[in-house]
Chains A and B, each alone.
Chain A
Amino acid sequence: MTAPFRPIRAWLVGVAAVASLLLTGAQLSFYEESLPGTLNPLYAQSMVDFRAQELVFDRIFYHDPVDNQIVSRVVERSELAEGGKAYRVTLKDGLRWHDGKAVGAADLCFTVEAMLDPKTPSRIAQGYRTVLAGCEVESERVALVMFTRVFHNPKERLGFALLPKGAFTGTAIAPDTDFSVHPIGSGPYKGGKGKRGVTFEAYANGHHAARVNQLSLQEGGDPIVQVNTLKQKSAQGIVAVAPPLRPDVSAADDLQLKSYDLRSWWFIAVNTKRPALADKRVRQALDRTLDRTELRTLTIGVKPGEQNSPCEFISGPFVQSSPFYNRAVPTRDKSDRATASRLLTEAGYKLVGGLWQHNGQPVKLNIGMLAPLDKEAPELLQQISNQLGAGGFDRVETRISVDDWNRRVVTGQATEFDLLVGKWSFGVVEEVNQLFETRTGAKGAFNIFGYSSPEADAAVAAYNAARTDTAAADAYHKLHAVLADQLPYLFLWKLDTKSAWRTEVRGNTISPYFYWTEVDGWTFGG
Chain B
Amino acid sequence: MIVSLLLACSGEAPVEPAVEGPRSGLPDTLVAATWQVRLADDAARAPFEGREGWVAWSEGRPADALLAFAAEGDAAALARAHAELAVDWRLAGQLASRATVEVYGRTPMAGDPAEVAGLVAAARAELGEAPEGTPLPRPEGWASQAAPGTLPDAGPVPHYRFRESLPEGLEVPAVHPGAGFALAAAHRAAAVAADPGSAGLVAWMDAAWGGEAPPPESPRPTTVPDAWLFLSLATTPADLVGFGALPPDTAEAAASTGSPFAVLAAACLPAEDPVGCAESAAAGLRAELTAKMAEVAGEPRPYHRRFAARAEVGALVHLARVYERRAGPCALPGGACEGVGARDADAAGRLRVSALDRADGAGVSESLVWLWIAAWDVGNRNTVRAAELLHRASASIPGLDAARVPLDALHLRVSRSAAPGLPVH
Give A contacts to B, CB under 8 Å. 2-3, 5-9, 11-13, 15-16, 19, 44-47, 49-50, 63, 66-69, 123-124, 127-128, 130-131, 151-153, 156-160, 246-254, 256-259, 261, 263, 301, 303, 306-308, 319-323, 370, 405, 410, 422-432, 434-435, 446, 467-474, 498, 503, 506-507, 509, 512
Q: Which of B73-81, B210-218, B232-240, B414-422 lies at the binding interface? A: B414-422
A253-B29 contact given A8-B251, A308-B395, A432-B423, CB 8 Å threshold: no
The number of A-B residue pairs with CB atoms under 8 Å apart is 246
Q: Determine if B43 is an interface residue (Cβ-Cβ < 8 Å).
A: no
Residues A46 and B425 in contact, CB atoms below 8 Å apart = yes
Q: Determine if B224 is an interface residue (Cβ-Cβ < 8 Å).
A: no
Q: A498 CA to B27 CA in the complex, in Å?
A: 35
- Chain A's closest residue to B271 (CB) is A12
| Minimum C-beta distance from A194 to chain B (A) | 22
What chain A residues lie within 8 Å of B391 (beta carbons)?
320-321
Q: List 12 A-B contacts (CB under 8 A).
A: A8-B24, A124-B422, A151-B417, A247-B10, A251-B14, A253-B21, A254-B21, A261-B385, A424-B423, A431-B421, A467-B110, A498-B360
Residues B111 and A68 in contact, CB atoms below 8 Å apart = no
Q: A252 CA to B363 CA in the complex, in Å?
A: 14
| Minimum C-beta distance from A282 to chain B (A) | 26
Q: Determine if B72 is an interface residue (Cβ-Cβ < 8 Å).
A: no
Q: A410 CA to B425 CA in the complex, in Å?
A: 9
Residues B423 and A425 in contact, CB atoms below 8 Å apart = yes
Contact of B267 among A9, A263, A405 (CB under 8 A): A9
What chain A residues lie within 8 Å of B90 (beta carbons)?
none
Residues B418 and A429 in contact, CB atoms below 8 Å apart = yes
Residues B277 and A12 in contact, CB atoms below 8 Å apart = yes
| Minimum C-beta distance from B171 to chain A (A) | 8
Q: Determine if B349 is an interface residue (Cβ-Cβ < 8 Å).
A: yes
What chain A residues lie within 8 Å of B305 (beta carbons)?
251
Residues A307 and B251 in contact, CB atoms below 8 Å apart = no
- Chain B's closest residue to A463 (CB) is B416
Q: Determine if B188 is an interface residue (Cβ-Cβ < 8 Å).
A: no
The interface bits of chain B over 217-236 (1 if a CB of A lies within 8 angstroms of the residue's CB, else 0) are 00000000000000000000
Residues A428 and B420 in contact, CB atoms below 8 Å apart = no
Residues B421 and A127 in contact, CB atoms below 8 Å apart = yes
Q: Determine if B206 is an interface residue (Cβ-Cβ < 8 Å).
A: no
What chain A residues lie within 8 Å of B333 (beta carbons)?
67
Residues A468 and B9 in contact, CB atoms below 8 Å apart = no
Contact of A435 among B16, B350, B423 (CB under 8 A): B423
| Minimum C-beta distance from A116 to chain B (A) | 13
Q: A153 CA to B413 CA in the complex, in Å?
A: 12
Residues A252 and B413 in contact, CB atoms below 8 Å apart = no
A261-B18 contact given A5-B255, A303-B11, A469-B409, CB 8 Å threshold: no
Q: Determine if B344 is an interface residue (Cβ-Cβ < 8 Å).
A: no
What chain B residues lie within 8 Å of A153 (beta carbons)?
417
Q: Determine if B318 is an interface residue (Cβ-Cβ < 8 Å).
A: no
| Minimum C-beta distance from B296 to chain A (A) | 16
Give B contacts to A, CB under 8 Å. 9-16, 18-19, 21-29, 59-61, 107, 109-112, 164, 166, 169-172, 251-252, 255, 263-264, 267-268, 270-273, 275-277, 279-281, 283, 287, 305, 333-334, 345-346, 349-350, 353, 356-358, 360-363, 365, 377, 380-385, 387-388, 390-392, 395-396, 408-409, 411-425
A2-B423 contact given A248-B13, A469-B412, CB 8 Å threshold: no
Residues A152 and B107 in contact, CB atoms below 8 Å apart = yes
- Which 10 A-B pairs give the minimum distances between C-beta atoms? A127-B420, A429-B421, A8-B25, A257-B361, A323-B408, A321-B391, A469-B412, A66-B349, A251-B13, A3-B28
| Minimum C-beta distance from A277 to chain B (A) | 22
A5-B421 contact given A256-B357, A468-B109, A498-B360, CB 8 Å threshold: no
A15-B424 contact given A5-B255, A256-B357, A468-B170, CB 8 Å threshold: no
- Chain B's closest residue to A157 (CB) is B419
Contact of A130 among B170, B363, B420 (CB under 8 A): B420
What chain B residues lie within 8 Å of A301 (beta carbons)?
11
| Minimum C-beta distance from B169 to chain A (A) | 8
Q: A246 CA to B357 CA in the complex, in Å?
A: 13
Q: A473 CA to B407 CA in the complex, in Å?
A: 13
| Minimum C-beta distance from A253 to chain B (A) | 4
Q: A54 CA to B160 CA in the complex, in Å?
A: 44
- Chain A's closest residue to B250 (CB) is A9
Residues B361 and A256 in contact, CB atoms below 8 Å apart = yes
Residues B166 and A468 in contact, CB atoms below 8 Å apart = yes
| Minimum C-beta distance from A326 to chain B (A) | 12
Q: A470 CA to B410 CA in the complex, in Å?
A: 11
What chain A residues lie within 8 Å of B360 (beta carbons)?
257, 259, 498
What chain A residues lie within 8 Å of B110 (beta carbons)?
467
- Chain B's closest residue to A317 (CB) is B423
Residues B421 and A446 in contact, CB atoms below 8 Å apart = no
- Chain A's closest residue to B58 (CB) is A307
A152-B28 contact given A47-B425, A303-B9, CB 8 Å threshold: no
Residues A429 and B415 in contact, CB atoms below 8 Å apart = yes
Q: A66 CA to B169 CA in the complex, in Å?
A: 37
Residues A424 and B416 in contact, CB atoms below 8 Å apart = no
Residues B387 and A321 in contact, CB atoms below 8 Å apart = yes
What chain A residues lie within 8 Å of B263 (beta carbons)?
8
Residues B384 and A469 in contact, CB atoms below 8 Å apart = no
A307-B396 contact given A254-B19, A469-B413, A471-B170, CB 8 Å threshold: yes
- Chain B's closest residue to A131 (CB) is B420
Residues B13 and A468 in contact, CB atoms below 8 Å apart = no
| Minimum C-beta distance from A117 to chain B (A) | 17
Q: A206 CA to B412 CA in the complex, in Å?
A: 37
Q: A282 CA to B27 CA in the complex, in Å?
A: 69
What chain B residues lie within 8 Å of A323 (beta carbons)?
387, 408-409, 411-412
A250-B164 contact given A66-B353, A424-B425, A432-B423, CB 8 Å threshold: no
What chain B residues lie within 8 Å of A306 (beta carbons)?
9, 11
What chain A residues lie within 8 Å of B421 (beta carbons)?
127, 426-429, 431
| Minimum C-beta distance from A365 to chain B (A) | 21
Contact of A47 among B9, B19, B418, B424 (CB under 8 A): B424
Contact of A250 among B21, B276, B363, B380 (CB under 8 A): B363
Residues B272 and A16 in contact, CB atoms below 8 Å apart = yes
